[in-house]
Homo-oligomer: A and B are copies of this chain.
Amino acid sequence: MKITMSAALALGIAFPACSALADEGMWTFDNPPSKALREKFGFEPTKEWLDKVRLASVRFMDGGSGSFVSPDGLMITNHHVGLQCIQNVSTKENDYVKTGFSAASRDKEAACPGYEVNVLSSFEDVTAKVQAALKPDMTDKVAREARKAAIAGIEKECNAASGQRCDVVTLYQGGEYQLYRYKKYTDVRLVFAPEQEIAFFGGDPDNFTYPRHDVDICLVRAYENGQPAKPAAWLPWSKTGVAEGDLVFVSGHPGSTSRMDTVSELANARDHMLPLSLEILKRRIAMLKAFSAKAPENERRARAQVFGLENALKANEGRLEAIQDAKAFAKKAEGEAALRAKVAADPKLAPSVGPAWDTIAAAQQKAALRLNESFLVSFGGSRQLAIAGQIVRYVAEVKKPNAERLEEYADAGLDSLRNRLFSPAPVYDDMEEATLTLQLELALEKLGAGHPYVKVVLDGKSPAEAARSALAATKLKDPTVRQALIEGGSAAVDASTDSLIVLARKIDPLARAIRKLNEDEVDAPTKRAGEKIAVARFQVYGKTVSPDATFTLRLSYGTVKAFPSDGTIVAPFTTFYGLYDRSISHGGKDPWALPARWQAKKGSLDLATPLNFASTNDIIGGNSGSPVINRAGEFVGIVFDSNIQGLAWDYFFTDEKARCVSVDARGIVEALRNVFGADALVKELTAR
């Protein structure tokens, strides 16, 4: 090895930082890390292996991953991915979030309103097609429109031809474009969920940490034409599970990473974006907790939102901490300086790419100046106001040619959007009022009484009065009202006197204006300059690094591995022994309380069964629910988190201490069988 390295250095061959040692990478299925796998693990995934894993992997459009684990359309994902469904299926009388849910038979499986599940059925490189639409002499703005038009055209054509969901995915900041075709399932039904107390055991304190003891699973089933779906592939349940040091794969949908961002973008996140985001999250959580404290029913209603916000808070705090690490930041800056030097030294790259970093830095400065408006001038603060905003925009946008629309109203996504818009998920009046009041208070405080948005939303009233009156006269709680407005088009929406539709009509031009300024002055130049950098990086490093995450299917590999922490070594596994230890050692108090069933059934469990495990797989938010797969292509666990050190992965990969955290397949079966008595389910999962 020493000779290889020295020779390589002498020849001036550049090594992407860390990639030679660490298991970095969220790899697209067209470019699996076969060489690294062969060299490091003597394993090379075959086409059959890759196809099976891809076709068994599913994406939950609300932001999670999962997999098929039976030929009858049974899917496993995380409890927190299924939570919205569990909550919607619940009533005041039957709080399945609290008690858990187990369908007694298939006909008792309960519909999950608004859920959409995608399977990546095929993909195609369309880089040349997209780039053909761009000419070197175009302004940023024209280039952006041209790209958008090209993408919308490709998607539309594909959708018409295949009847499938078609997305053109931007990889390597525009270095590559891929057309992804998805098989779509919209009839998704709840099969099984444990109590949230055990799914989220340890609550917010243990969230983003390890050791963990969570049964963070939820089983749902895809249906087609009223019958259990027959997926193209599914993952057999491993009989043996994993051991320390084992090679494991994660196949899932990482949402977004910022690893190719420039230093000025990271500095903007560190100095402006993240601090403001943290402040707003804290205020929202405090408000919802005050709301929850008033009644147990309030607490039940606010739970999913509080959960999501606390998750976001801790994640952003961890990210801010990672990025505030002066040493890591300096390393990032070094990497950028190295690439800039290579570009500057290359006469073919220097003229076009050289200024790109300064262009982005200037754009980031503009973004910082408009930050409060970017966060607050919106349809935020109320679920119904968000729906009103979507209705107002929907009817306006669909009249335009596909290529000219706001991207979320392009034809490719309209089915999914309507599915969400017409969801009968419940709306709680008092919670709506509390959340909207806070939104208006924040706007008044951050933007000032004289800001056009504040004038429009308050209309001379106090935030609380304005929120109350805006919500008093809306009928949007009723999905049929929403549907009627969408079907009535612009005429119906323009004529509507629904208080929230009226408000949304007033907010729309203001929010569009801010969005347009950001798109023109921040996003477009950043994106275009980023593309130039990406192209240059391509020329230097090729596809030896994987692209930033884009909530599309990726494969990452790693090993089950202990890690050092606070002077000792954290074991790669936890067991049910550890679950009971952690509950008792905290005096059994919330959030380490155990559901009654878990106390009663303790004697039936083999406490030595592995419950959770840690591995070095490269993941990020969106990977929640991803299957962990062994060499044989079997299901050995399900990703549900990273440890706190893993939050750094947004900006750079490290496997010194950062770990992916999963529920062990053996622990799942042990719990299903001996705590829940879900024998039929165990039989379905473990059949071959």
Complex contacts, A592 vs chain B, CB 8 Å: 571
Which of A318, A565, A566, A585 has most B Cβ within 10 Å?
A585
Complex contacts, A575 vs chain B, CB 8 Å: 580-581, 584-585
Contact of A577 among B205, B568, B580, B644 (CB under 8 A): B580
Known: A578-B578, A608-B580. A585 touches B573 (CB 8 A): yes
Contact of A582 among B205, B571, B580, B645 (CB under 8 A): B571
A209-B567 in contact (CB<8A): yes
Contact of A565 among B566, B572, B587 (CB under 8 A): B566
Known: A575-B584, A584-B575, A585-B578. A566 touches B209 (CB 8 A): yes
Q: Does A206 contact B (CB under 8 A)?
A: yes
Q: Does A208 contact B (CB under 8 A)?
A: yes
Q: Does A244 contact B (CB under 8 A)?
A: yes
Q: Name the interface residues of A535-576: CB closer than 8 Å to any CB of B.
A: 562, 565-569, 571-575
B578-A644 in contact (CB<8A): no
Distance in angstroms between the alpha carbons of A535 and B567 in the assembled complex: 39
Contact of A202 among B202, B208, B568, B586 (CB under 8 A): B568
Interface size for A (C-beta < 8 A) is 38
Distance in angstroms between the alpha carbons of A206 and B570 in the assembled complex: 10
Q: Does A342 contact B (CB under 8 A)?
A: no
Distance in angstroms between the alpha carbons of A608 and B583 in the assembled complex: 10
Q: Does A643 contact B (CB under 8 A)?
A: yes
Q: Does A309 contact B (CB under 8 A)?
A: no
A205-B581 in contact (CB<8A): no
Q: Does A314 contact B (CB under 8 A)?
A: yes
B568-A585 in contact (CB<8A): no
Complex contacts, A577 vs chain B, CB 8 Å: 577-578, 580-581, 584, 607
Min CB distance A266 to B, Å, is 22
Distance in angstroms between the alpha carbons of A578 and B580 in the assembled complex: 8
Which of A566, A568, A575, A608 has most B Cβ within 10 Å?
A568
Complex contacts, A586 vs chain B, CB 8 Å: 562, 569, 571
Closest chain B residue, CB of each to CB of A591: B569
Complex contacts, A202 vs chain B, CB 8 Å: 568
Which of A202, A572, A586 has most B Cβ within 10 Å?
A586
Known: A244-B587, A587-B244. A574 touches B567 (CB 8 A): no
Complex contacts, A569 vs chain B, CB 8 Å: 205, 586
Distance in angstroms between the alpha carbons of A607 and B211 in the assembled complex: 19
Known: A244-B587, A587-B244. A574 touches B581 (CB 8 A): yes
Complex contacts, A243 vs chain B, CB 8 Å: 587
Which of A208, A581, A582 has most B Cβ within 10 Å?
A581
Complex contacts, A211 vs chain B, CB 8 Å: 585
Distance in angstroms between the alpha carbons of A573 and B607 in the assembled complex: 20
Known: A577-B580, A580-B577, A581-B577. A205 touches B568 (CB 8 A): yes
Known: A244-B587, A587-B244. A208 touches B581 (CB 8 A): no
Known: A577-B577, A577-B578. A584 touches B608 (CB 8 A): yes
A568-B209 in contact (CB<8A): yes
Distance in angstroms between the alpha carbons of A365 and B415 in the assembled complex: 77
B573-A643 in contact (CB<8A): no
Contact of A571 among B566, B568, B585, B645 (CB under 8 A): B585
Closest chain B residue, CB of each to CB of A588: B608
A581-B584 in contact (CB<8A): no
Closest chain B residue, CB of each to CB of A318: B567
Distance in angstroms between the alpha carbons of A582 and B581 in the assembled complex: 10
Closest chain B residue, CB of each to CB of A243: B587
Complex contacts, A244 vs chain B, CB 8 Å: 587
Distance in angstroms between the alpha carbons of A208 and B568 in the assembled complex: 8
Complex contacts, A206 vs chain B, CB 8 Å: 568
A567-B208 in contact (CB<8A): yes
Distance in angstroms between the alpha carbons of A206 and B608 in the assembled complex: 21
Min CB distance A313 to B, Å, is 12
Q: Name the interface residues of A596-627: CB closer than 8 Å to any CB of B.
A: 607-608, 610
Min CB distance A648 to B, Å, is 12
Complex contacts, A209 vs chain B, CB 8 Å: 566-568
Closest chain B residue, CB of each to CB of A321: B567
Min CB distance A324 to B, Å, is 14
Distance in angstroms between the alpha carbons of A388 and B574 in the assembled complex: 52
B568-A566 in contact (CB<8A): no
Chain A residues close to B by CB (< 8 Å): 202, 205-209, 211, 243-244, 314, 318, 562, 565-569, 571-575, 577-578, 580-582, 584-587, 592, 607-608, 610, 643-645
User: Which 9 pairs across A and B sit closest by C-beta, in order of nearness?
Assistant: A578-B581, A567-B644, A571-B585, A577-B581, A209-B568, A573-B585, A571-B586, A205-B568, A577-B580
A-B contact pairs, 26 of them (CB 8 A): A202-B568, A205-B567, A205-B569, A206-B568, A209-B566, A209-B568, A211-B585, A243-B587, A244-B587, A562-B586, A566-B566, A566-B643, A567-B643, A567-B644, A569-B586, A571-B585, A572-B585, A573-B585, A574-B585, A575-B584, A577-B580, A577-B581, A578-B582, A578-B585, A581-B581, A584-B608
Q: With A566-B644, A571-B585 given, name 14 new contacts (CB 8 A).
A: A206-B568, A209-B566, A209-B567, A211-B585, A566-B566, A566-B643, A572-B585, A573-B584, A575-B584, A577-B581, A577-B607, A578-B578, A578-B581, A585-B610
